[in-house]
A = this chain, B = another copy of it.
Amino acid sequence: MEKIKVKEVDNVVVLFAGDSGDGMQLTGTLFSNVSAVIGNEISTFPDYPAEIRAPQGTLGGVSGFQVHIGSSKVYTPGDLADVFVAMNPAALKTNIHKVKKGGVIIYDEDSFLENDLTKAGFTTDNPFVELGVSETINLIPTQLTTLTQKSLEGFGLDGKSILRSKNMFAFGLVCWLFNRPMDKAEHFLENKFKKKPSVLEANIKVMNDGYNYGNNLHLSIPTYTIERSSDTKPGKYTSISGNTTTAFGLIAAAEKAGLELFLGSYPITPASDIMQVLARRRDLGVKVMQCEDEIAGIATAIGASFAGCLAATSTSGPGLALKSEAIGLAVMSELPLVVIDVMRGGPSTGMPTKTEQTDLLQALYGRNGESPAVVMAASTPDDCFHYSYMAAKIALENMTPVILLTDSFIANGTSLWKLPKLADMPEIKPNYVPADYKNYNAVSRNEETKVRYWAIPGTEGFEYRNGGLEKDYVKGSISTAAVNHQKMVDTRAEKVQNVKYSIPELEIIGNEDADLLVVGWGSTRGHLMDAVSSINEKSKNVALAHFNYINPLPKNTEEVLRKFKNIVVCELNSGQFAAYLRSKIPGLNIMQYNKVQGQPFTAIELEEQFELILKK
């Protein structure tokens, strides 16, 4: 028996794609989990279709899941796939451009029949030729359907259920390919199908048969080993999505602050999960209201904030638009409030399942009047936890609405998350009115920080009337006096600007004397880091400054940016952060690299772009 070739690699990208009904999300999740368990770094990117269930086998119904695993820090789900599992021709067609030269495509022969090809709009019987698939790509046809049927013969399952298991065959096969531990895989399946023992049994059987199929047949492809990551600090980990960590950040912050957590929300793709994760937490006393619309979502939250909760509302772009007026009320009444916007493709209903960074200017400016709020953005599925916690902390300590931007890419994507302990999290001290404060009113504030004092209804002696009309700086009563208004406008702005003293300074990643500074914000960090590192492995010409705090900007921003002669701001919109930076720090030489395609950057395109700039 000839020895199988084993490739040792640093990192590898696997892409699963098939019909919405093919269970690709589960397969991908399982694969990323078994990889994480053995100490690999992971980063994933699910790419859902817009329809719930488009007609089977059509291009509109393709669901994909990409996993990047590595033995050192992995920042993105990867640009191009080393291995692509294609369950049907439609999946092949929509994803072929994501496969690396020299990559491997495993596909279900049984699902590439004439009828299937037609549904996916192929006109010949050879889809690979028709697509011009590179000859360097290694095609592994596998009779997934037939093999699964055989595997489950005699299990007494109906044909539909059997077919639904074929993703497990593919999964087993890929596990073999990457030397994944089957006991861990079984363990994950057990958790998933606890309540359906027959399904569980069948899935385990098919998965193991898939593994053995690879093992026994000595498919003519090298298998891979990926070492345990050494970048990963030892500890307990899980693999988790950004929406879940965002929800968890709020839970942690509420407990730390000693407050009840209230979420007022309305379902919207891709933000609904935040609400759904929190709705499950009645055991922690989390009060989630699914409201009649987004306005009620924020309005109930403002009510809850007034009443003394840590209050939040979660939504996506169109919902944020609807909340604009009420955010203004939170600004004016100086109440703590966390507003989470999981950005998606716009404008209007746009492309609900796709990712974009196009709500930045809306978050900054989408309100009537001079209406400053804190705006921040998370970068990865796991740091959504940190930033959602910090959003709550800033809101409570500064009596201001905080808008936290995430996006479809990190909200649905997963990464490894080192499990935190509440005790290790920074303190949260809401700006309560001192118990001995005299003559409290709606604008009583700490004169140094300009932060309004918070009195919780129910507390005797601090009854006060808040509201959305302009107030007298001293008395808190309604005022239209000219100079007073100016003072109030300035005070609210100053309060928000003061947040810059409590957030971290901007850091430069890479060479401080580089020719080019790459600037990004939010979820693009992984791709930018990859591209920057890759260039810096050759020259040391590029540095990266990545922003998570946007209003206010870190206090050293101007100083840092002024050091660089060339700056390129990269973002998944038409140049919103670039415009913001230009307006805040005049005189910088800012170039832009923008992409508005509903998809994340690829490190490759970024690298090419930076090289181009450097050459000029």
Contact = CB atoms under 8 A, between A and B. Distances in A.
A370 B353 contact: no
A50 B478 contact: yes
B366 A486 contact: no
B348 A318 contact: no
Contacts of A361: 361, 364-365
Nearest to A467: B349
A325 to B, nearest CB: 4
B350 A332 contact: yes
Interface in A345-363: 345-351, 353-354, 356, 358-359, 361-362
B348 A328 contact: yes
A368 interface: yes
A361 B480 CA distance: 23
Nearest to A330: B348
Contacts of A358: 368-371
Contacts of A597: 482-483, 485-486
Given A365-B364, A369-B317, A599-B482, A350 B583 contact: no
A480 B345 contact: yes
A322 interface: yes
A324 interface: yes
A596 B480 CA distance: 11
A579 interface: yes
A574 B347 contact: no
A445 interface: no
A332 B321 CA distance: 15
A470 interface: yes
A24 B370 CA distance: 31
A367 interface: yes
Contacts of A493: 574
Contacts of A320: 368
Contact of A468 (B333, B350, B492): B350
Contacts of A155: none
Copies of the protein in its oligomer: 2
A350 B469 contact: yes
A17 to B, nearest CB: 15
Nearest to A358: B369
Given A369-B358, A489-B596, A582-B582, A468 B325 contact: no
A348 B321 contact: no
A317 B597 CA distance: 32
A482 B601 CA distance: 11
Interface in A519-577: 573-574
A418 interface: no
A580 interface: yes
Contact of A368 (B325, B347, B467): B347
Contacts of A345: 369, 470, 480, 485
A451 to B, nearest CB: 17
Contacts of A483: 597
A356 B345 CA distance: 33
Nearest to A366: B366
Given A322-B324, A486-B596, A486-B597, A359 B369 contact: yes
A590 interface: yes
A83 to B, nearest CB: 22
Given A486-B595, A586-B582, A366 B369 contact: no
B368 A362 contact: yes
Nearest to A493: B574
Contacts of A368: 316-318, 320-321, 343, 346-348, 350, 358-359, 362
Given A470-B350, A598-B482, A325 B331 contact: no
A358 B368 CA distance: 7
A324 B469 contact: no
Contact of A351 (B346, B350, B480): B480
Interface string A380-398: 0000000000000000000
A369 to B, nearest CB: 2
Nearest to A317: B368
A557 to B, nearest CB: 15
Contacts of A584: 579
Nearest to A595: B486
A456 interface: no
Given A351-B469, A354-B485, A486-B595, 13 more contacts: A318-B328, A332-B349, A347-B367, A347-B368, A350-B368, A350-B468, A351-B485, A358-B370, A362-B368, A365-B366, A482-B598, A483-B597, A486-B596
Interface of A: 50, 316-318, 320-322, 324-325, 328-329, 331-333, 343, 345-351, 353-354, 356, 358-359, 361-362, 364-371, 467-470, 478, 480, 482-483, 485-486, 489, 492-493, 573-574, 578-580, 582-584, 586-590, 595-599
* A-B pairs, 7 with minimum CB distance: A346-B369, A317-B368, A347-B369, A347-B371, A366-B366, A348-B468, A332-B348
6 contacts: A324-B324, A324-B362, A348-B368, A350-B470, A356-B369, A362-B368
